[in-house]
Amino acid sequence: MTGGLYSPLRLRSGAVLPNRIAKAAMEENMAGEGQLPDGRLVSLYRRWSAGGTSLLITGNVMVHAEALTGPAGVVLDEAAPLGPFTEWARAAKSGGAAVWMQINHPGRQVQADMPGVVWGPSAVGVDLGRLSRNFGRPTAMTPEQIRATVERFAVTAARAEQAGFDGVEIHAAHGYLLSQFLSPLVNQRTDAWGGSLENRARMLLDVVRAVRAAVSPSFAVAVKLNSADFQRGGFDVDDARRVIAMLEPLGTDLVELSGGSYESPAMTGRSADERTRAREAYFLDLARELVETSPLPLMLTGGVTRRATAEAVLASGVAVVGMGTALAVTPDLPARWRDGREADRPMRPVTWSNKALASAASMAQVRHQLRRIARGRSTRPGTLPAYALLREQIGQRRALRRYRAWLSAPRTAPARAGR
């Protein structure tokens, strides 16, 4: 038992989280002009910060301007102005929460109509049957591209610290680039980045080393890792155990456990694997296995909506409880729990038989609530999934036009004094 929900947690970097509840990353897809955070993200995170959560982890911030999961992604690279990010961090910390920036590269999980690059460890595309055509065909990364991408992660982390964030979370889960390198199904390389788990983990470990070297010792560095991919022959819980052990000597503060990918979206409760709980705390059984040997504190995300479930997660030995959808519906849920109250309503379930479409609709529902919160409105958890998905598709088309124009325009890194 790690302590109650409202007990503090000291991390190895020296930071202290006042309670054990974190807002896990949700891909907001709310970038403004120039792929920058604007008033909507500022408003959204100010609301969350006032809701009693001790740690806010942002949605994906992309390290490579030419590689986004979707056209409304936020980009922080060497050419991005820091002002909007400073305002975002200030709002997120306004209520006493710490804020970490999740930094990511999508690899092959890029929509087919997106400009830019589609990279992966190997030329193995996303396999979703008929829906596979919705994703670009990847090319295998060269050693030079791998090393340049490692440096991009370090640049983004350093600039996040300069902007006032308290830490970063390196995304190595959910089938994104670093997760692709870890997967024996996607990574079919025969060089130093393929084959054994030690080789497949090389890029992730190099990223962590580069990030840790680029930031101050008091700046938190966390990793989001799949407990399993939930695909036969893929990255599994034993692999996760070994990777966590590899991360420990590199100055990692925390490992967040999740699971799945676009091909097996367990992170939305859509995996058929019996080890995930379709009701709540999807990955708790796997987390219990990993807690036994983990040298690092673990955070568990996926399906937590009630205080009793959160307490059960902590009782398993997990150090931090992460919530996403629950806080998209009820942004002040941690404060409610402290007062002995629960959420008023859950999100409307998506019961579509096609898992990929159902996962997309679930995420669209969540983002619909985030946009409402950002506009100062109350949430509507009963929103129809089809309506949320349609609204999102319309918004994505507009964002794609903006992104194409932005990507084609010249960009210049700011003077060093402003970096």
Q: Which residue range is the domain that position 32 belongs to? A: 9-347
Note whether residue 358 is domain-resident. Answer: no
Confidence of residue 281 (pLDDT cuts 50, 70, 90): low
Backbone CA torsion sign across 203, 205, 207, 210? negative
Q: 220: Cβ–Cβ under 8 A, 6 or more apart, which residues?
A: 11, 13, 15, 98, 100, 166, 167, 168, 253, 254
Confidence of residue 419 (pLDDT cuts 50, 70, 90): very low
Note whether residue 16 is domain-resident. Answer: yes
Note whether residue 393 is domain-resident. Answer: no
Where helices occur in 183-332 by DSSP H, the ranges are 197-200, 202-214, 237-247, 284-291, 307-315, 325-329
Note whether residue 62 is domain-resident. Answer: yes
Helix, strand, or coil (residue 403):
helix
Give pLDDT tens digits for 93-129: 999 999 999 999 999 999 999 999 999 999 999 988 8
The mean predicted confidence, pLDDT, of the chain is 91
Contact indicator for 253, 11 with CB cutoff of 8 Å: yes
Question: What pTM does this model have?
Answer: 0.93
Residue 230: per-residue pLDDT: 65
Note whether residue 221 is domain-resident. Answer: yes
Note whether residue 196 is domain-resident. Answer: yes
Give pLDDT tens digits for 332-380: 999 999 999 999 988 998 989 887 788 889 999 999 999 999 999 999 9
Instruction: Give me the phi and psi of 149, to 5 degrees please.
Output: -70, -40
Residue 259: per-residue pLDDT: 73
Give pLDDT tens digits for 30-66: 999 999 999 999 999 999 999 999 999 999 999 999 9
For the cut 90, the answer to whether the pLDDT of residue 317 exceeds it is yes
Q: 245: Cβ–Cβ under 8 A, 6 or more apart, which residues?
A: 293, 295
CATH number at residue 134: 3.20.20.70
Residue 261: per-residue pLDDT: 64
The total number of structural domains that make up the chain = 1
Note whether residue 373 is domain-resident. Answer: no
Note whether residue 185 is domain-resident. Answer: yes
